[in-house]
């Protein structure tokens, strides 16, 4: 089958190890099944893999790609849940040894991908394969942060720090569609403008004083925004954090935490069931991921080059 | 001031006690404040009061009306929370001695209404006074059932039993806007058609076998649908109940409850904070109550007559 | 190996099908393991199986017994979790096709029992094998009802309806050890006296008016006590139900549910992790199951006869 | 009446401002009531007030003391809840303007103290006035951390950092009585020995590698133990923090939070209802606060001197 593979890694020239061509069909372990891929989407994660981050050398060559939609063995339209793990307290994302597709097992940039049977989720007919392929990583992460970990009811005010990234974009779109008052911050005027287009009610420069304290802050920036996030919360409010692009060590003012009884909650990815609900949520509300361009998988190298050069807005989708 | 008052009650001829005319301005106890009413909405509750249900004779004459939007003493646009009670575990709806406006204290069908200071909620500018006046009873009840008591995440499947009433209508509209898959039942083909217009994904005759088990059932019908509600739930699923129009005593198959670990949760009205979030939810999602007609309060008798005759669809709103 | 087996069923003479003798060692499917049984305990469930209730004829002969403690293949002291199921939302007790040991697979009344690897829980050294063998059914059921489903904090008041049965006994002992105020009802003066010995603070005749409303009611009686249970709850209070010995259909006063926002929550058995926590709870608090008598497994027929005759108080344990 | 008052503050010589003598009886605002104090307990908070920390100069002279038990105006035995605040979302401890008795209003070191009517809690007969007087601050704080904020079931493993202080002592005693596995750390061998006496299962030097990861960590130390606390948690585990004696700014490894989905939850004091449940919990389990010595209030200066000199173990109680 045709596939897009990482054959080597290079921190300085990630595209060097990007290889398009024939690969053997996937082997299918007990309890796994095969999906015929119809669409898949590019993530920064794929570029990181080509740089050698989050991948062991002895896994190479490995098929890239975390996201996919396609057909199961009976021809049903499905979305592929990318988390491979053993549930801990009923949640596969709590498995400290979990992986995403393309980290340990071959990924989704191929005509076929093997996945555990339990990792398939029905694709609503109203969602196209291209749209569905955008959901399993950033949008699933945002869904869990907003509708599970935040612990607030619709109509509450949510602050999204750092309006640029994939998760932040999904948070703004999902938050607005779900009936939250969404505020967003960014250092970039352009990104603030896009946040408003995506549905944010108000946007602010990073660190700006807000009109009032918020119920919950969505954090993926880390060190640079941490203090602002904590002090922006109402008494009893909560930070939900899924990443730290600006720095992993954040000095935390503990009195801000205990005296006003705030909380900080870590979140990563989401469960298979949450992916299923996310797809229905899109079907019901009409909100859709923004797609920058659609390319055939055979031209995946163009997509990688565009992401590497920057300046894209929305997802790069490959069709098979 | 001008007001619409219940001066007597009659189970057979409720309109006989309906009196329009001058009334003294409200007296304002310590901790209370006055709202200048801009819009108010008619509820079946007002007809029941005129029939003598839920009202003590020694309260008469009493100004009718549970719902209102208007201006507070500083000219801010507000919505009036109708529940008068002392919080129990932080929730005024848990006070067994709570009342609604027009049950113990004069109601909202007047130029001015006195309410506890804490019962005012900001009206978002995007919501009109007429729309805002529709929220404090049926829509608030639906908001709490769906976004608090149901305990499910958006994208879940919700069954609304009895698609006709005010709460059911609000549940369908709110559920769809909030990203739930909404199924509804009714004995009436006309009401099923309206449920689809309001946003239901599928409708069914009462008691019909469903395509699959649902995550949560919204119950306001009671005895007639109870068995169907319970057996329609997935393992671990939940009934939320706020009323029982078809009968107050429902035989419950306990094995259906414990063996599949289902639950049944009672809900009534909502808190002041939930009313505030409901208003923002409408602002953000664009969903709005359906208004059958708008009349000046001086023609409230026409509205009462229309509700008494039946056949209205949506709220009857009075402007002041 | 030696085992105690149901070879036939008879509703009138259950002991007729009770067979003691040699049986082949268990076969061990993929992902399963073998436990060398040290102690096991008799449940009414075993008598019901011999009566033909809850068992398919084509399963016979089948080794009886739900409960066991023993040694795993590495010699570690373990308790056996009896629920065989596939987790639904992370909870194996939500699987509608779940079974207990001795329902589909051979049970624990044997020198060896095969179980899924995940079904083993460490036995604290401070708990004897005999005590540990009493935990996996009634005590686990009580643990989940009290510490998971009830949703109340220690120091709350818990009413246990029907103080006689295995679950009720465990509820009283666990509730008192866990710092709850425990009230119990029974029609029998003798059982009320025992409830006091087990740690109940006050006991009442069935249906008696209580000194005040309670936070939560533990229900295993069903139809006979249902009305009393519901009306005994404070506003916002909860019934947790795990059975219905007096009748499966309980007329429910819905106004009692919705107007005071009470809830009814079904519960059955518990998870593997809850069994592990239950064992630690016993270790830490010093509370222990009451054991009526200990017999060698080779004299299991005496234990069955005693349970069949009634009048036992506490568990009948078999050692191997 | 006789009272113990702060008449001036001095950071270096706190006892200088300690004044014993006659004071006017308390004035009782609307909605408040008077308690005849029977016992009261000394807290470091009282010494801090005399040092000028947490007190405004224009409040002086002010009666000291946060804790009290006594008789209400009808002669009922009561415990006094010390938090004076307006509930936010039903929780008075969320009011950012809340105070404790002796911060804004006269405290409990007096023959009579005025408190809001809602701040009285029944004292169980089995708890002495002296014991009851120890509950409203450190023990209430510990109760809320353990039984509310921790979100874990009994039998879970709890790590208490810094075994010396009042809250940590209460956490160990309450945790053990509530059926948790309690581990504690301290730099001091003597304090580790006392932790074992109080019921800890294992004790460790600060920062020591633990035998396994824990479900929840109780934090009142702050900067010095923060890293150890976070890395000691299992996936999905939680820190509950109520203070930071070693430093208020704690560098937080965010990857430790989000990748393993841990959480950090601030907690302070507890609600009036939690104080009531705490008292019942003591009644039911038999656990009691440790009292170092009991003195008549007229010799309160000896108690202050002993606390100032250090080396006490348990509470100093004053009787009136
Ligand atoms: Zn990765
Ligand atoms: Zn009413
Ligand atoms: Zn069975
Ligand atoms: Zn203070």
Tell me which of B123, B179, B283 to substitute to probe the interface with A (most A C-beta atoms closer than 10 Å).
Answer: B179
Q: How many CA atoms are closer than 13 Å to the CA of D107, on its beta-carbon side? A: 30
Q: Average pLDDT in the B243-267 region? A: 97
Average pLDDT, integer, range B146-170: 95
Q: What is the mean pLDDT of residues C97-112?
A: 96
Burial class of A2 by CB neighbour count within 10 A (0 to 12, 13 to 18, 19+): middle
- The answer to whether residue B277 scores a pLDDT higher than 80 is yes
**C13 in contact with chain B, both atoms CB, cutoff 8 A:** no
Q: What is the pLDDT of residue B15?
A: 95
- Compute the average pLDDT of residues A118-142: 97
Q: What's the gap between Cα C264 and its chain centre? A: 20
Q: Tell me if chain C has a CB within 8 Å of the CB of B253.
A: yes
Q: What is the pLDDT of residue C312?
A: 84
Asked if omega into A61 is within 30° of 0 (cis), the reply is: yes
Report helix, strand or coil for D37: strand
Least confident of A170-184, C75-89, D169-183: C75-89
Res B199 pLDDT > 80: yes
Q: Identify which of C235, C244, C252 has the shortest CB distance to residue B88.
A: C235
Distances (CA, A) of C201 to A125, B243, C154, C173, C198: 59, 36, 14, 11, 9
Contact (Cβ atoms closer than 8 angstroms) between residue A131 and residue A291: yes
Q: C84 CA to chain A: closest CA distance, Å?
A: 15
Chains touching C by CB (3 or more pairs below 8 Å): A, B, D
pLDDT at B311: 79
D280–C201 CB contact, under 8 Å? no
Cβ of residue D253 closer than 8 Å to a chain A Cβ: yes
| Domain boundaries of chain B, sorted by first residue | 2-134+289-319, 139-266
* C234 lies within 8 A of chain D by CB: no
Measured from the Cβ of residue C85, the count of other Cβ atoms closer than 10 Å reads 18
Q: C260 CA distance to ligand 3 centroid (A)?
A: 36
| Angstrom distances, CA of residue C70 to CA of A312, B247, C28, C99, C273 | 61, 54, 17, 21, 18
Checking if the pLDDT of B129 tops 80, the result is yes
Say whether pLDDT at D88 is over 90.
no
C94 lies within 8 A of chain B by CB: yes
Same fold? D2-134+289-319, D139-266: no
Judge contact between D39 and D17, C-beta under 8 A: no
Neighbours of chain D (3+ CB pairs under 8 A): A, B, C
Residues D242 and D268: beta-carbon distance below 8 Å: yes
Q: What value does the mean pLDDT take over residues D201-221?
A: 97
Provide the pLDDT for residue A212: 97
Relative to beta strand A32-41, strand A291-296 is unpaired
> Is the Cβ–Cβ distance between C268 and B259 less than 8 Å?
yes
Q: What is the pLDDT of residue A173?
A: 97
Indicate the pLDDT class of residue C91, thresholds 50, 70 and 90: confident
Which of A153, A178, A182 minimises the CB distance to B148?
A153
- B254's CB contacts (< 8 A; 6+ apart) are C222, C223, C226, C241, C243, C244, C248, C249, C250
CA of D131 to the centre of ligand 4 (A): 22
Residue with tokens 């309670």: C214
Tokens 């065989």: give the residue.
Answer: C84
Using pLDDT thresholds of 50, 70 and 90, give the confidence band for residue D199: very high
C257 touches chain B (CB under 8 A): yes
- Sort A22 into a burial class: Cβ within 10 Å, 0-12 / 13-18 / 19+: exposed
- Of the candidate ranges A299-313, C99-113, D189-203, the one whose mean pLDDT is the lowest: A299-313
Render pLDDT for B73-119 as a digit per residue (tens, 0 to 9): 999 999 999 999 988 877 889 998 999 999 999 999 999 999 999 99
Residues in B touching A147 (Cβ below 8 Å): 153-154
Whether the per-residue pLDDT at A289 is higher than 80: the answer is yes
Residues 285-304 of D with CB under 8 A from C: 285
Pick the closest to residue B161 from B79, B43, B97, B245 (CA basis). Answer: B245
Give percent above pLDDT 70 in chain D.
100
Mean pLDDT of A130-148: 97
d(CA D217, CA D182): 10
Put simply, the answer to whether C273 touches A91 (Cβ < 8 Å) is no
Instruction: Read off the tokens for D147.
Output: 């039984």
Phi, psi of D233 (to 5 degrees): -85, 140
Pick the CATH number of A2-134+289-319 from 3.30.230.10, 3.10.129.10, 3.90.180.10, 3.40.50.300: 3.90.180.10
DSSP D149: I
Report the run of H or E that residue D40 belongs to, with start and end.
strand D32-41
pLDDT confidence of residue D301: 97
* Cβ contacts of A246 within 8 Å, gap of 6 or more: A162, A221, A222, A223, A224, A225
Quote the minimal CA–CA distance from B186 to chain C in Å.
Answer: 20
Residue B168, Ramachandran bin (φ over 0: left; ψ between -120 and 50: alpha; else beta): alpha
Under a CB-based contact definition with an 8 Å cutoff, are residues B258 and C241 in contact?
yes
Least Cα separation, residue C302 to chain D (angstroms): 35
Chains that contact B by 3+ CB pairs under 8 Å?
Answer: A, C, D
Q: What pLDDT score does C126 carry? A: 97
- The answer to whether the CB atoms of A260 and D266 lie below 8 A apart is yes
pLDDT score for B86: 86
Q: Is the pLDDT of residue C252 over 80?
A: yes
Is residue D165's pLDDT more than 90? no
pLDDT on residue A277: 98
**SS3 assignment for chain B:** CEEEEECCCCCCCHHHHEEEEECCCCCCCCCEEEEEEEEEECCHHHHHHHHCCCCCHHHCCEECCCCCEEECCCCCEEEECCEECCCECCEHHHCCCCEECCCCCCCCCECEEEEEHHHEEECCCCCCHHHHCCHHHHHHHHHHHHHHHCCCCCCCEEEECCCCCHHHHHHHHHHHHCCCEEEEECCCHHHHHHHHHHCCCEEECCCCCCCCCEEEEEECCCCCCHHHHHHCEEEEEEEEECCCCCCCEEEEEHHHHHCCCCEEEECCCCCHHHHHHHHHHHHHHCCCCCEEEEEEHHHHHHHHHHHHHCCCCCEEEEEC
How far is the C-alpha of C124 from the C-alpha of C128, rounded, in Å? 8
From chain A, pick out residues whose CB is under 8 angstroms from the CB of C273.
89
Looking at the CA of C101, name the nearest ligand: 3
Residue C179 binned pLDDT confidence (cut-offs 50, 70, 90): very high
The CA-CA-CA angle for residues D143, D144, D149, to 5°, reads: 130
d(CA B269, CA C261) in angstroms, rounded, equals 10
* D178 contacts in chain C (CB < 8 Å): 154, 178-179
Nearest CA in chain C to A92: C90
Quote the percentage of chain B above a pLDDT of 70: 100
Cβ-based contacts under 8 A for chains A and D: 112
Please say if the pLDDT value at position D89 is more than 80. Answer: no
Q: How far apart are CA C246 and CA C223, in angstroms?
A: 6
For A174, which residue in chain B has the nearest alpha carbon?
B179
**pLDDT class of C48 with cuts at 50, 70, 90:** very high
Q: How far apart are the first and last CA of chain B?
A: 11
CB within 8 Å of C209: residues ≥ 6 apart: none
pLDDT greater than 90 at residue C191: yes
Q: Residue C223: how many CB atoms within 10 A of its CB?
A: 17
Angle at D61 between CA D60 and CA D63, to 5 degrees: 115
Question: What is the Å distance from ligand 2's center to B45 Cα?
Answer: 6
DSSP code of D147? Answer: I
As to burial, measured by CB atoms within 10 angstroms (0-12 exposed, 13-18 middle, 19+ buried), residue C199 is middle
Flag whether pLDDT at C41 surpasses 90.
Answer: yes
Given this model, what pLDDT does residue B125 score? 97
> How is domain B139-266 classified at the CATH fold level?
Rossmann fold (3.40.50)
Q: Could you tell me the distance, in angstroms and rounded to a whole number, from the CA of residue C104 to the centre of ligand 3?
A: 9
Is C234's pLDDT higher than 80?
yes
DSSP chain C: -EEEEE-S--SS-GGGGEEEEE-PPPP--TTEEEEEEEEEE--HHHHHHHHTTT--GGG-SEE--S--EEE-TTS-EEEE--EE---BTTBGGG-TT-EETTTSS--SSBSEEEEEGGGEEEPPTTS-HHHHTTIIIIIHHHHHIIIIIS---TT-EEEESSTTSHHHHHHHHHHHHTT-EEEEE-S-HHHHHHHHHHT-SEEE-TTPPPSS-EEEEEESS-TTTHHHHHHTEEEEEEEEE---TT-SEEEEEHHHHHTTT-EEEE--S--HHHHHHHHHHHHHH-----EEEEEEGGGHHHHHHHHHH----SEEEEE-
Query: Considering chain D, what is the average pLDDT of its residues?
Result: 96
Q: What is the DSSP letter of D91?
A: B
In this predicted structure, the answer to whether residue A89 has a pLDDT above a threshold of 80 is: no
Distance CA(D198)–CA(D169), nearest Å, equals 8
In the prediction, which pLDDT does C90 show? Answer: 78
ipTM: 0.95
What average pLDDT does the segment C217-227 reach?
97
Do the Cβ atoms of D277 and C148 come within 8 Å? no
């Amino acid at each position: 089958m045709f596939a897009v593979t990482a054959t080597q890694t290079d921190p300085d020239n990630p595209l060097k190890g990007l290889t398009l061509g024939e690969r053997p069909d996937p082997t299918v372990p007990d309890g796994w099944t095969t999906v015929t891929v119809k669409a898949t989407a590019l993530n920064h994660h794929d570029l990181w893999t080509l740089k050698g981050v989050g991948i062991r050398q002895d896994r190479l060559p490995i098929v890239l790609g975390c996201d996919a939609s396609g057909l199961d063995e009976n021809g049903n339209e499905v979305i592929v849940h990318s988390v491979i793990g053993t549930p801990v307290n009923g949640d596969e994302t709590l498995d400290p040894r979990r992986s995403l597709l393309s980290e340990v097992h071959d990924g989704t940039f191929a005509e076929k991908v093997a996945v555990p049977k339990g990792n398939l989720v029905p694709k609503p007919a109203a969602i196209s394969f291209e749209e569905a392929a955008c959901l399993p990583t950033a949008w699933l992460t945002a869904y869990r942060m907003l509708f599970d970990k935040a612990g607030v009811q619709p109509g509450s005010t949510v602050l999204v720090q750092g309006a640029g990234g994939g998760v932040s974009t999904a948070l703004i779109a999902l938050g607005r569609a779900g009936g939250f008052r969404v505020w967003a911050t960014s250092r970039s005027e352009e990104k603030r403008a896009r946040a408003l287009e995506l549905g944010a009610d108000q946007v602010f420069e990073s660190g700006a004083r807000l009109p009032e304290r918020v119920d919950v802050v969505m954090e993926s920036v880390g060190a640079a925004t941490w203090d602002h996030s904590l002090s922006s919360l109402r008494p009893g409010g909560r930070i939900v954090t899924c990443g730290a692009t600006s720095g992993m060590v954040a000095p935390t003012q503990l009195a801000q935490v205990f005296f006003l009884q705030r909380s900080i909650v870590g979140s990563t990815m989401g469960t298979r069931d949450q992916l299923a609900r996310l797809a229905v949520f899109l079907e019901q509300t009409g909100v859709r991921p923004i797609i920058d361009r659609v390319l055939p998988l055979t031209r995946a190298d163009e997509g990688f080059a565009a992401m590497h050069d920057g300046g894209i807005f929305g997802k790069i989708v490959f069709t098979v």
